[in-house]
Structure 1
Amino acid sequence: MNYKKYKKFQSIKLKERTWPDKEIEKAPIWCSVDLRDGNQALINPMSVDEKIKMFNLLVEIGFKEIEVGFPSASQIEFDFLRRLVDYNLIPDGVKIQVLTQVRPHLIKRTFEALEGVKEAILHIYNSTSILQRDVVFNMSKEEIKDIAVEGTKLVKEYTKSFNGKVYLEYSPESFTGTEVDYALEVCEAVLDTWGASEDEKVIINLPSTVEMDTPNVFADQIEWMSSNFTNRERVILSVHPHNDRGTGVAAAELSMLAGADRVEGTLFGNGERTGNVDVINLACNMFSHGIDPNLKLDNINKIIDVYEKCCKIPVHIRHPYAGELVFTAFSGSHQDAINKGMKKYMERNNQYWEVPYLPIDPSDLGREYEALVRINSQSGKGGVAFVLESHYGYKMPKTMHKEFGDIIQEITEKVGEISPKVIMDKFTEEYLEANEPFKLIKFKVEDNDSLENDGDNTTINVTFSYNGKEQNVVAQGNGPINSLKNALVKSKLVETIILDYAEHSLGVGSEAKAAAYVEMKRLDNSKTTFGVGVDNNITIASIKAVFSAINRLYR
């Protein structure tokens, strides 16, 4: 690797930075650039109808500023904006943002597209970076600044005859590759030309058109700019991070600490090259810290659906908050911790969400709990128990988790991940349908009503078959389960003891079934196992559980 081919861009040395001691306390002004920056990065750009669908989604989510395109660049961009206007699709309170280069015929065409819009942000830009001044434009600093100033004059002139309200936004493109003092000089010239004031603010947008350094350096650049404007109150300081180094979200967060008022980004980070800053990620990060993101993200599945249909790009399965698997645990220890954490959260009725491995409650995004634990060869006994309980209501005794977990692991080691249905089918086969070699035919239980008799006061008369041969046995015990065990021992076909018993309701109400669990041990070889029985009658469920256990011991 010829690493000496590359060098670090030295943009700033900020000695007395203040942003590291600050915290994010509120959401920024959000501006979606999905329909412009995001759209131009698509292999197959959106049609007008797809743009309408995406626009409506962005409005529904809660964006108040939406960059809808580059209407002077192509007919489809122009037609889309006209559709929004002519069909009255722009709600009150939503500002449409359009981008244009600072050329007279393009600015004229842009204003034609905006005719009838009540509030519009007109976004002009030109590149100011050292590299582009040299290899693209071959211009001096003064010539580059003149482009920005002349563009501002043109826009200001056109606003005089425009019926709606026009807000100016200026971007020194490739800001991260520009000397900060020169970037400030150009931005100040734009502000002065426009006549910016506290009542007539201008959006100064500082894009990391190419992410060139670590997020802390970008934060230093933003703080320097924020601190050195002649009149900071006439500026809405905006950032437009890209993700070339994979740290776009971090850069945006640190820039907010450094003074940024506004963030431009896209859903799921769609954009040129490695993408723009991901607004979903950024907003959910704030939400997970108890900060109102001022965006409505409680139906993340709908957002994903519209995005994927319009952009023809899948959301990655590991995407923070939105990925299919981000609220899923395969690891056994993770599954166990989630299972316990969820139960404690429900039991304690906590004000604050605190569940291991889950920084956010999936239900707050409209996600389901069913996908939290999925089972493969890396899963543990706790995960299998969680799936059985969350999907089907079976609350296996703790001591039973390993037994059934081992059965499931044997399957997953052969086939990989398995569904909850496969787990339930195996549970049914192993326990609920364990009816060989012993098969229950009928039984009758009678209790001694004397309260003084605390011994074997229950009699059972049970008929069962063993390998097809029918037997009838009568025995006593201190309850139905003990009586049945004694009857089976009396038949001389088994020699067992009962180690544990548990039961619970499968559902609520008088129609709910009962599940019973019996742990038994063979005395001849010390083998232990569980049996499970289900019935509307708890006594019958218990009797079925005993037969399930002895069939698993003697099969």
Structure 2
Amino acid sequence: MSKMIQFFDTTLRDGEQTIGVNFSIEDKIMLAQKIADWGADVIEAGFPVASENDFNAVRRIGQEVTNCNVIGLARCVKKDIDAVIKALTDAPHGQIHVFIATSPIHRESKLHMTQEQVIEKIQACVSYARQHFDHVEFSPEDATRTEWNFLVKAVRTAIAAGAEVINIPDTTGYTNPDEFGALFDYLKKNIPEFDRVTFSVHCHNDLGMATANALESIRHGATRIEGTINGIGERAGNTALEEVAAAMYVRHDFYQAENHVDLKKTYELAKLVSQKAKMPLPHNKPITGTNVFSHESGIHQDGFLKNHATYEILTPQSVGVAHSSIPLGKLSGSHAVAVKLAEIGYQVTKADMK
């Protein structure tokens, strides 16, 4: 049976953590509205405790974007949670996302905390957040480098304290699809509450597998995918949500899953984020790059001209691109040259082409 996959967009939070990217408050409000209109179910508007600007952006998005859930991020620190409360408790669809690192390297080198101290923090902070919000998401940061039995303990503690969404972050892009799927199977087997909460994933792209890992999680029980438009974010970036949406569309037979994304608005949104982030889209960027619907080599051009589906697994119009193109280059064949000549008014025979 088909299941519904929520899209959680963090372009305005994790995306803005890309080196050199700085969105103004007005940019954020405009982008949030466009992302909501594209079909995101949740927008992570920012990290309110980080600065006055961040706080104001989160608050305004929470008040002005009313067709989407709006979430604010907080560490498991009371002042962080208080900042989200102040920014979003009176928003029409305000929510909170709290996190603490759980992996050994983070516990020992960053937090200087024992497993027991981390568990105590989760219980205290999630329950405090739950007093102020009906919807609480919890993330064990660096989950994929956390001992699996301790990860289960952390997740169950958060659920007992009131979290209704559990996010499993691959914070450093460390995992791979096989391992990630196995982790989800382990969680499902060892967390009796698995099916009564939403499991989410937040994958990074350090080894180039963010989209693959996110898609694999759908097959193992995740029902929310977190990511950004164009895959912007820390270091090598995040799961590109438009890639997940397109993969679910093209391979609906395989994933058997639905979402609320209006795929035809994808290219326009990708261009807008690219412009505001001052990060040009790579020509070979999946789904939205200029080369995706262009065919230069003779064999490809010939097949494409006979039947577009020979080399295009989705139409350009399905993602909001006007049409495909067949640029002429050193590898172009006679079929494409004949078509180009016809376009400018010259009818040529096969003999002429030779």
1:386 aligned partner:
339
Cα distance in 1, alignment partners of residues 241 and 214 from structure 2 = 10
Q: Which has the larger radius of gyration?
A: 1
Report which of the two has the higher share of helix.
2
1:56 to 6, 13, 33: 33
2:45 aligned partner:
68
| 1:424-448 per-position Cα deviation (integer Å, ceiling 9, x unaligned) | xxxxxxxxxxxxxxxxxxxxxxxxx
| 1:41-84 per-position Cα deviation (integer Å, ceiling 9, x unaligned) | 24131111111121121012011211100112111111112323
- Coordinate RMSD, CA, aligned: 1.9
1:271 aligned partner:
233
What's the secondary structure of 2:99's corresponding residue?
Answer: strand
1:366 to 320, 327, 342: 320
1:173 aligned partner:
141
The answer to whether structure 1 residue 341 and structure 2 residue 307 are counterparts is yes
1:397 aligned partner:
349
What's the secondary structure of 1:106's corresponding residue?
Answer: helix
2:5 aligned partner:
28
Change (3 A) 1:118 1:272: same
2:151 to 170, 175, 183: 183
The answer to whether structure 1 residue 215 and structure 2 residue 177 are counterparts is yes
Superposition map of 1:8-157 within 5 A = 25-26=2-3, 28-85=5-62, 88-92=63-67, 94-157=68-131
Cα distance in 2, alignment partners of residues 39 and 142 from structure 1 = 33
TM-score (norm 1): 0.60
Amino acid in structure 1 at the alignment position of 2:44: E
Change (3 A) 1:63 1:247: same
Could you list the runs of 5+ residues in structure 2 that have no partner in the other structure?
A: none
1:377 to 304, 313, 330: 330
Amino acid in structure 1 at the alignment position of 2:124: E
| 1:264-290 per-position Cα deviation (integer Å, ceiling 9, x unaligned) | 011111111111001111111111124
* Number of residue-to-residue matches in the alignment: 350
1:430 aligned partner:
none
Q: Does structure 2 conserve the Cα–Cα contact (< 8 Å) formed by 1:373 and 1:386?
A: no
| 1:135-176 per-position Cα deviation (integer Å, ceiling 9, x unaligned) | 22222111111111111122133x1xxxxx530100000001
Could you list the runs of 5+ residues in structure 1 that have no partner in the other structure?
A: 1-23, 160-164, 197-201, 343-354, 404-555
Which shows bigger deviation, 306-315 or 288-297? 288-297
1:286 aligned partner:
248
Cα distance in 2, alignment partners of residues 395 and 32 from structure 1 = 51
The answer to whether structure 1 residue 204 and structure 2 residue 170 are counterparts is no
| 1:209-243 per-position Cα deviation (integer Å, ceiling 9, x unaligned) | 01213221111112211232122232101111111
Change (3 A) 1:203 1:185: same
Change (3 A) 1:268 1:393: farther
Q: What displacement does 1:392 show?
A: 4.1
TM-score (norm 2): 0.93
Amino acid in structure 2 at the alignment position of 1:33: T
Cα distance in 1, alignment partners of residues 345 and 140 from structure 2 = 60
Cα distance in 1, alignment partners of residues 25 and 274 from structure 2 = 16
Cα distance in 2, alignment partners of residues 215 and 79 from structure 1 = 38
What's the secondary structure of 1:36's corresponding residue?
Answer: coil
Q: What displacement does 1:106 show?
A: 2.1
Cα distance in 1, alignment partners of residues 170 and 347 from structure 2 = 53
The answer to whether structure 1 residue 258 and structure 2 residue 211 are counterparts is no
Report which of the two has the higher share of strand.
1
1:441 aligned partner:
none
1:317 aligned partner:
283
Q: Does structure 2 conserve the Cα–Cα contact (< 8 Å) formed by 1:300 and 1:365?
A: yes
Q: What displacement does 1:314 show?
A: 0.9
Change (3 A) 1:224 1:271: same
What's the secondary structure of 1:298's corresponding residue?
Answer: helix
